[in-house]
Structure 1
């Protein structure tokens, strides 16, 4: 299956996302009847223990300082859907201004990060990882703040899990998601 940047962006704009099967380099478009969202309003929350970490300013934030490092960090697990082909696609999306890495750093060490695609006022989170405890959680909190400040409407987490629920993640029906996505796509926003 051939993928070019315009068709990939069009697929995401229609509510689909790319994944490879673990151990397989074939890609496919996927959707979900229940789409997970990270709230960008007062429903967003995080543990009090994380508030202390944020107040200590142990991490610095960067966007796209080490995009490849974030992709590799997200793919570095026992089972991964980020295949070599998908890594190349993310790189092309990054090169053309669609994909971003939102990173936390401790000095010169990449502590954690979130990989995502920004289209209009929609940020589609693809994956996250950490190398230093709390690195990805701090990235989540500060990314939500940035998305709010920049006028984003939607933070799509694709599939929910207990970790995301700790931040207030919730699911909506596919039909409702597509309505919200179209509204978000119509809003010009920039992560930078």
Structure 2
């Protein structure tokens, strides 16, 4: 089996392929190329009114890329008896994405409260495509708020594709849809020819501006 490096992983993403492990202690990593792919159309993202109201109250301090290792490890945590009873993130995957982070291709959006990391997400950024990998929360709605801030950042930064890999009822509530593999690759190729800027949105931007950037509420 070919040893997976950060460079090989980056190439795989450019072809629409991503890695997973069966579980945390699995040694093997396998490649995934779904027939149907989950994405968020960035111009049709939905923010439920209740969540928008919470965002306006600024319950979290939003940080970018300040605790990537903590975020990916929190995403890999399992909770017995819950939907997070298992994880596809093993130690090798963690190391690979930390390498991509060091190379500037991975990012984290983090929610903090009183100096404690309470939620967030991470993903891979290539050109104008952002491939969302995983999210977590330790306080209610923290991961949802991180997602809204991510979408605002991507829209402001000129991205055209937010890949969610698979669809869940939770993601569908925010406007995620499924598209065939061929259509995904077409959108991916278009996005790779763009120059998305993940850092162009200032950190000090107001919650109202974030919601205006996301634009659609229901």
TM-score (norm 2): 0.85
Q: Distance in 2 between matches of 1:28 and 1:101?
A: 24
More displaced 10-residue stretch of structure 1: 118-127 or 45-54: 45-54
Deviation at 1:25, TM superposition (A): 2.2
2:82 alignment counterpart = none
Which runs of structure 2 are paired with 1:92-111 in the superposition (5 Å)? Answer: 92-111=99-118
Aligned: 1:177 with 2:184:
yes
Aligned: 1:50 with 2:57:
no
Deviation at 1:144, TM superposition (A): 0.3
Deviation at 1:39, TM superposition (A): 2.0
2:34 alignment counterpart = 32
Q: Name the Cα RMSD after superposition.
A: 0.9
Q: SS where residue 86 of structure 2 aligns?
A: coil
Given that residues 17 and 32 in structure 2 are in contact (C-alpha distance below 8 angstroms), is that contact kept between their aligned partners in structure 1?
Answer: yes
Deviations 1:119-154 (A, max 9, x none): 000000010111111100000111101100000000
Which of 111, 115, 130 lines up with 1:123 in the alignment? Answer: 130
Given that residues 135 and 143 in structure 2 are in contact (C-alpha distance below 8 angstroms), is that contact kept between their aligned partners in structure 1?
Answer: yes
Q: Distance in 2 between matches of 1:112 and 1:8?
A: 26
2:91 alignment counterpart = 84
1:71 alignment counterpart = 72
Structure 2 runs not aligned, ≥5 long? 79-84, 200-218
1:186 alignment counterpart = 193
Q: SS where residue 71 of structure 2 aligns?
A: helix
Q: Distance in 2 between matches of 1:185 and 1:60?
A: 31
TM-score (norm 1): 0.97
Which runs of structure 2 are paired with 1:149-188 in the superposition (5 Å)? Answer: 149-188=156-195
Deviations 1:54-78 (A, max 9, x none): 0101112111110011001100012
Q: Distance in 1 between matches of 2:50 and 2:175?
A: 16
Deviation at 1:7, TM superposition (A): 1.5
1:18 alignment counterpart = 19
Q: Distance in 1 between matches of 2:154 and 2:75?
A: 21
How many aligned positions are there?
191
Q: Distance in 2 between matches of 1:142 and 1:12?
A: 23
Look at both structures and tell me which one has the larger radius of gyration over its CA atoms.
Answer: 2
